[in-house]
């Protein structure tokens, strides 16, 4: 003879049955969500809660919780509600301003922003700036385009060098040596031919 209060019968519609089967057996479902779907499917067969708990390998309390949640909210009851946490301290406007500042300007006397220099200029922490850069894929220290030097005499120096190439002094050779540090010449593909 059964004791305790009677449990409400759990009847699934065809659409709910199909959706729960999909959640329970799909490889990309979250394991927690798949287990909840299996609990509901087993409960819909009319099994007792302790039998469902043994079959799904969970506690009876878990079966009670998700069964009652499903009866109240149907499929929406299987998903977790957003958890409380500390409110955001950085607004969307601050994030937008930071991204624009990173992409559109440079600090005085430097070629690019660092997290510390931008933190000092914006008033945010360097970890916050690092998270924002990571979220937007920004890497100002890595560039694939030519950047001009902040040297105030750059134009005069460029004119001197280009002028030297265009109009070299009489009886003089002008060589250009492009030095790339830390790059070693590759081994020769063919040995030198004998003389």
DSSP letters spanning 120-174 = HHHSS-HHHHHHHHHHHT--TT--SS------TTHHHHHHHHHHHHHSPPTT---
Burial grade of 5 (CB within 10 A; 0-12, 13-18, 19 or more): exposed
pLDDT, one tens digit per residue, over 104-161 is 888 888 888 888 998 998 888 999 999 888 888 888 877 666 555 677 787 788 788 8
| 73 and 33 both lie in a single domain | yes
Q: Rounded distance, CA 92 to CA 89, Å?
A: 10
105 and 139: one domain?
Answer: yes
Residue 13: how many CB atoms within 10 A of its CB? 10
Domain that holds residue 120: 90-168
The predicted model scores a pTM of: 0.40
One domain, residues 64 and 133: no
3-state SS class at 183: coil
39, 96: one domain? no
Same domain, 70 and 102: no
Quickly state the pLDDT bin for 5 (edges 50, 70, 90).
low
What is the count of structural domains for the chain?
2
Does residue 187 form part of some domain? no
Question: Is 158 within the bounds of a domain?
Answer: yes
Is 185 within a domain? no
Residue of higher predicted confidence among 49 and 129: 129
> How far apart are alpha carbons 103 and 157 in whole angstroms?
27
Neighbouring C-beta atoms of residue 55, cutoff 10 Å: 14
| In a domain? residue 84 | no
């Amino acid at each position: 003879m059964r004791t305790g209060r009677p449990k409400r019968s759990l009847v699934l519609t065809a659409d709910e049955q199909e959706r729960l089967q999909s959640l329970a057996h799909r490889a990309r479902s979250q394991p927690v969500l798949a287990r909840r779907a299996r609990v509901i499917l087993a409960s819909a067969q009319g099994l007792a809660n302790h039998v469902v708990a043994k079959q799904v390998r969970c506690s009876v309390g878990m079966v009670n919780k998700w069964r009652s949640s499903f009866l109240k909210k149907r499929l929406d009851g299987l998903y977790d509600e957003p958890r409380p946490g500390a409110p955001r301290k950085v607004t969307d406007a601050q994030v937008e301003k930071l991204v624009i500042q990173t992409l559109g300007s440079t600090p005085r006397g430097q070629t690019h922003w660092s997290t510390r220099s931008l933190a000092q200029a914006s008033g945010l922490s360097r970890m916050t700036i690092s998270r924002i850069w990571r979220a937007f894929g920004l890497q100002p220290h890595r560039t694939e385009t030519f950047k001009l030097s902040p040297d105030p005499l750059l134009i005069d120096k460029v004119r001197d060098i280009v002028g030297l190439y265009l109009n070299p002094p009489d009886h003089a050779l002008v060589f250009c040596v492009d030095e790339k540090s830390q790059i070693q010449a590759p081994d020769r593909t063919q040995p030198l031919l004998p003389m």
